[in-house]
Structure 1
């Protein structure tokens, strides 16, 4: 079964509300969709969003990497010799992790379809349902409390709250306003998106601990490159600290965990270049007793479906951040992961369970 063709198409979907973090504000979800067709007619799908501030990629760079570099090297390869295919994909060019991830996704979709099982079962099948959080964008405290209250009323029990803009007191006011509005029952996890330095992070988290705001964990409090700063925060707070932008590869995970610089790791397929490498990160983390979350960029239901299948397949992945499709004004995907409020389930169809991509 050989790779016959690799094709790309651009998509753009408006968000229902601007998505604001310490790194950027997003109003439209842009992505490159990838379709791989095999010699026996099996079709696999993947997605690559341009996330300049994290992966450094643009729509143009993703398209060029796939069409001009990756495709010529992979077309004609036997997809059932998948180790050879993934080795080629990961060595044909450096970085370009989202472009590689989209191709990796489509290959895994094909392999699971060939096996005749849903992808999460092909990868391990640990669970068949997930509970996602919903993200509260960083705004003024009242608007964030309004958003949090609405998400709880819509059936979400876990909120991921963006912080890291302005003074520390502003972040404290944001979290306090949310707690006053939604109470203490919902879980709150924070994501600073590298918005603090190490001492600011220790101060902010300590104040939240002293105020009894009950934070489940804090994600990427300091700059991605500052592993010493990340360790400084981890060593001086009781709240678990999660590495996100600091971990793209298994080599990054080795450095972070050997330093004990973080308590948890957030795996994103767009950082790891797909499932092939994401599994290595999770396996290493599990061997070191470190639990993982799987999250995403601002992606459509195509990319999220792949990430959810991967997350459902592994016992060590305990946290799930898959709300991005719920922020979009429309959906191009027929099939894929199924949302019932915060609960996500999968169809029994093989692969990703995607019946059609509506680009009309």
Structure 2
């Protein structure tokens, strides 16, 4: 089996409402669908959500990287030779979302060729996982309403709360969430590098009082000494996310004392490097969880597969709800969240079908 074509298709799908966090704001899913076809007629898919304020990638840069840099490497290659392909793609630095989507599409192809779902190929640790919902910045009332909707409609009982703006406002929002949702619900926080180190230390202590279990990316990642001081003084674990986007970066962060837990995202490290990061952390006794890059439906399906595939991830809530912000998508069968859980798809590969009419409607390159 050989790869014959590689496509990067830019999409634009509106959101029901904007999603805001300390480092940016999104109003539409300007994602890129990566489609890889083989000479056997199999088609694998991956989703690349660009986040220029975090990784520097845009939809245009992802399309260009896939078309001009990665496609010449991929065409003629065997999709099973993922390590060879990984080494070839690594000759181009950065472009994390583009490479992540390619890796996901390759695993989709391999799963189809083997007649097995991706989560089974990864290790089949579970058939479903507990779901976490990511709450964007807003007024305390808006943030509470978002959480209550997810709790009532989907049974979600774990929430990542965006913080990182004015500390007083953030604490009011978290306090209101705790009061409304009760003590049984898990709350953890993500500042998206929005505070300085001194503010983050105060915040961590106040968040601990509100039974918040973790704090993700509290300050700018290049403030290395400040981050280490936060880790030393925080009563709750500090999670590395956008500061730990490579296998080597994760190793350095953990060994240098910059992070105590790690968030992995299929959108930036695919299945291959995500599994390597999880294995590294498992060996070091470090907790890992599946994060969300404000993924669409395809990304949510992939994240669920990763969470169900690896034992170290299956124990923790997986962030797979933010596709619900979108008014539509190009996937024919939307992900299902019920009683606070998401199940891995049992069809070969990712088990997704692209709706050709929706793809034609939302693509912006024609």
TM range (shorter): over 0.9
- State the match for 1:94 in structure 2: 93
| CA distance in structure 1 between the aligned counterparts of 2:213 and 2:118, rounded to whole angstroms | 30
Are 1:228 and 2:225 counterparts?
yes
- State the match for 2:199 in structure 1: 200
Gaps of 5+ in 2: 361-366
Once the two structures are superposed, the pairs formed by residues 212-227 of structure 1 within 5 Å of their partners are 212-227=209-224
User: Is this contact kept in 1: 2:158–2:317, CA < 8 A?
Assistant: no
Are 1:258 and 2:268 counterparts?
no
Q: Which has the higher contact order (CA 8 A, sep 6+)?
A: 2
Sort the Cα spacing of 1:57 and 1:337 in 2 relative to 1 into closer, same or farther, 3 A: same
1:22 Cα shift?
0.3
Report the 3-state secondary structure (helix = DSSP H, G, I; strand = E; otherwise coil) of the residue aligned with 2:354: strand
Under a length normalisation based on structure 1, what TM-score does the superposition of the two structures give? 0.94
Once the two structures are superposed, the pairs formed by residues 16-165 of structure 1 within 5 Å of their partners are 16-91=16-91, 93-154=92-153, 155-165=155-165
Sort the Cα spacing of 1:33 and 1:83 in 2 relative to 1 into closer, same or farther, 3 A: same
Q: 1:279 aligns with which of 275, 283, 289?
A: 275
| CA distance in structure 1 between the aligned counterparts of 2:205 and 2:353, rounded to whole angstroms | 49
Are 1:296 and 2:295 counterparts?
no
Are 1:335 and 2:333 counterparts?
yes
User: Is this contact kept in 1: 2:99–2:268, CA < 8 A?
Assistant: no
User: Is this contact kept in 2: 1:231–1:260, CA < 8 A?
Assistant: yes
| CA distance in structure 1 between the aligned counterparts of 2:227 and 2:267, rounded to whole angstroms | 22
Q: What do residues 26-79 of structure 1 show as CA deviations (whole Å, max 9, x unaligned)?
A: 111111101111111111001111110111001110000001111012101122
Sort the Cα spacing of 1:282 and 1:107 in 2 relative to 1 into closer, same or farther, 3 A: same
Under a length normalisation based on structure 2, what TM-score does the superposition of the two structures give? 0.93
Report the 3-state secondary structure (helix = DSSP H, G, I; strand = E; otherwise coil) of the residue aligned with 1:37: strand
Report the 3-state secondary structure (helix = DSSP H, G, I; strand = E; otherwise coil) of the residue aligned with 1:4: strand
Gaps of 5+ in 1: none
Corresponding pairs, count: 355
| CA distance in structure 2 between the aligned counterparts of 1:341 and 1:51, rounded to whole angstroms | 31
| CA distance in structure 1 between the aligned counterparts of 2:176 and 2:93, rounded to whole angstroms | 44
Are 1:7 and 2:7 counterparts?
yes
Q: What do residues 257-298 of structure 1 show as CA deviations (whole Å, max 9, x unaligned)?
A: 1123222100112333x2221121111111110010111212
User: Is this contact kept in 2: 1:292–1:319, CA < 8 A?
Assistant: no
User: Is this contact kept in 1: 2:267–2:299, CA < 8 A?
Assistant: no
User: Is this contact kept in 2: 1:42–1:110, CA < 8 A?
Assistant: yes
Q: What do residues 113-161 of structure 1 show as CA deviations (whole Å, max 9, x unaligned)?
A: 1111100001111111011111221112222223222322222111111
| CA distance in structure 1 between the aligned counterparts of 2:85 and 2:206, rounded to whole angstroms | 50
- State the match for 2:245 in structure 1: 248
1:164 Cα shift?
0.8
| CA distance in structure 1 between the aligned counterparts of 2:317 and 2:261, rounded to whole angstroms | 10
